[in-house]
Chains A and B, each alone.
Chain A
Amino acid sequence: MDRFLDQFFNVEVMVKYLPDIIDGFWVTLLLAALVIVSGLALGLVLAVIRAFQIRAVNIAIIVFIDLFRALPPLVIIIVGFFGLPFAGIQLSGFFISWLSLSFVLAAFAEEIFWAGITSVNKGQWEASRSTGLGFAETLFEVVLPQAVRMTIPPLTNRTIAITKNTALASVVAVPEMLTVAQTSLAYAANTSPLTLAAIGYLIIFFPLTILSRRIETRFAWKR
């Protein structure tokens, strides 16, 4: 028991590496927040564009989402970081990680939003159109509000699962929390920094699940 405590809750080690972990925490938090905002926004925009059923555009969207859903995020980050310079584009590891994970989240989110849009009853479209609202007005005023509310639970799950991939940014030298924790762990020959990182993840993701549950109940209406 003592050895366990010493291995995971060594106060001395924790105090020593806490400042580093906190630095990493902010990097992870920033990356996670950026990925969530831009990933969900892009996913929603793509789903809305897809609703307009323009053939060529839809094919492009489907290729995009299938690609980014199929490839492991790690591969996307590595290809972006080490491949893009050959195309003359040099981006920071942080930026590449942000972009890659945003695209992955957008791909999954688009699929979820799209499923939401198509699951709204055809009668809703007809009722709205019959009063003179146009296609886009109907989409935004009638269909999307219903679609988005239906998608909150699956969307939260996906968002959390994908956002945890911020840890992958370590491969392109981003000093995010888990990278810092691993380095500290090696120096200290003790896993207590990892405990700190775990707490850090809880601090980031617990509010997210609570928030989503709040939104869900707030917008729920009886069927």
Chain B
Amino acid sequence: MADLPPVIEAHDIHKSFGDFAALKGVNLTVAPQELVFIIGPSGSGKSTLLRCCNLLEMPTRGVVWITGEEITKRGVDINQVRQRIGMVFQSFNLYPHMTALGNVALALRKVKKLDRAEAEERAHAALCRVGLDEKAASYPTELSGGQQQRVAIARAIAMEPAVMLFDEPTSALDPELVGSVLAVMRELRESGMTMVVVSHEMRFARDAADRVVFMDEGLVVEEGTPESMFGAPKSDRLKTFLTSVSGH
């Protein structure tokens, strides 16, 4: 495994929106089967960093490699690359005019070019993995928030990506529904999926993360194992942040 390239390697990523610098030179390396957990205050650039990894945002400067392939250079077929990077959003973003099955099958048909039967078979398999195959025929509005987010996870994993990006996957959920989504993420983790998770679920970070990255004001301020980050934070900013999140 040592000879495999990192799944994600982002080097010196800068991203500006107009005059405002959201990222000011961030490095992020994610090894195969690693779970990297990103924390930081609101506006610190966590989402922007994730979105730079699949080029939903184009970095103003810097280079991103996905499984060894540079994706920030000209002429890269980004749709080809994105198949290998699953993304889960805070607001689920399921397609409201399609059933759960349709949501999962769409990219299998259109991107992987599978015929309908095969796409639906794989979509069913993905829905099974998130424990929702019995909801295959339901429309998103007929599902709870937790179920919608699990369908969104199924939509991403059905593509068999090399890495999954989670941007606050449980932040929009009622507290009692958070557990079902975290359980699915744990299961994914145990199956060896490489994951980058932005979240405020510190307990999940302690249990499941290999590494925690703390960002503030567009920079990585500190990173390390969950034990060292939560147990013995070095920087004052991380200490302040941890008190602020444990305060409620």
Contact = CB atoms under 8 A, between A and B. Distances in A.
What 6 A-B pairs come out closest when comparing CB atoms?
Answer: A131-B107, A127-B93, A132-B111, A123-B93, A132-B83, A130-B87
A129 B57 CA distance: 12
A132 B95 contact: no
B80 A132 contact: yes
Interface residues of A, number: 22
B54 A130 contact: yes
B197 to A, nearest CB: 16
A133 B89 contact: no
Interface in B112-146: 139, 141-142
A223 B56 contact: no
Interface string A138-158: 000110011001000000000
Nearest to B102: A141
B58 to A, nearest CB: 13
B156 interface: yes
Interface of A: 121, 123-124, 126-134, 137, 141-142, 145-146, 149, 219, 221-223
Interface string B76-108: 000110110111010101111100000000110
Interface residues of B, number: 27
Interface of B: 54, 56, 79-80, 82-83, 85-87, 89, 91, 93-97, 106-107, 110-111, 139, 141-142, 152, 155-156, 159
Contact of A123 (B54, B89, B107): B89
Given A130-B85, A132-B79, A221-B141, 20 more contacts: A123-B91, A123-B93, A126-B87, A127-B93, A127-B155, A128-B95, A130-B54, A130-B56, A130-B82, A130-B87, A131-B83, A131-B159, A132-B80, A132-B107, A133-B111, A134-B79, A145-B97, A146-B97, A221-B96, A221-B97
B116 to A, nearest CB: 14
Contacts of A222: 139, 141-142
